[in-house]
Amino acid sequence: MRALLVANSVDADPGFVGERFRHHGFAFSECHRERAREWPDAHGVDLVVLLGSEWSVYWDDVSEPVAAEADLIRWAHEHGVPLFGICFGSQMIAHALGGSVSRASRPEVGWHRVETDEPEAVPAGPWMQWHFDVFSVPPGFREIARSASGPQAIVHKRTFATQFHPEATETMLDRWTTGDPGDLLRLGLDREHLMAETRATTEVSRPACEGLVDWFLEAVAGA
């Protein structure tokens, strides 16, 4: 089965999410946000996965690729192609389908639990959070998880989105926390502590991610 993976070229790792979709027979074609004009034709695809990004939807200097991604989201949603959005991907779904995106009054970075209405689908966690923006729930969508920061999981028809990062692996966090420690320090976080917590928590988050993808394929994509 054919799937599109929309991501920035420097961070196109779908982690545990990609691993589970591949387990179910999906093969990904990467669509780098920086080169939207080179994306393959979406007709005939069975799935679109939207990864996170360091971008913000509302930045003027990324307005062209944001518009291209929004067009893909609207097309997939209208044509019943299953959509699975993560973090920036969830914000893009909100932006494209009638919601809004804004700077978070309470940014979240690190392992956090969420309040969930459907724990069999979206467990309380802990889940990796790494976001400084939040989105509002688009018309027609049902919010099934949330935190003090804002919506954490939404679903409508064959489209599902999470603000948290179910795909997060130790390798991914090692990459995200390398370099300028400014954001971590401002939030009172320590890289070594966060990596130690990641090594321990992925023992729980990995099977939780597998269950989330399985639920998505059965209850959302299969609807």
Known catalytic residues?
87, 165, 167
- Single out the residue of 55, 64, 17, 30 nearest to residue 215, CA to CA: 17
What one-letter code names the amino acid at 52?
G
Distance, in Å, from the CA atom of 22 to the CA atom of 133, rounded to the nearest integer, reads 30
* DSSP one-letter string for 166-221: TT--HHHHHHHTSS--HHHHHTT--HHHHHHHHHHHHHHHHHHHHHHHHHIIIIIT
Give strand ranges (E) for 53-126: 83-86, 101-112, 115-116
Distance, in Å, from the CA atom of 72 to the CA atom of 63, rounded to the nearest integer, reads 14
Distance, in Å, from the CA atom of 34 to the CA atom of 64, rounded to the nearest integer, reads 9
Question: Around Cβ 186, how many Cβ atoms within 10 Å?
Answer: 10
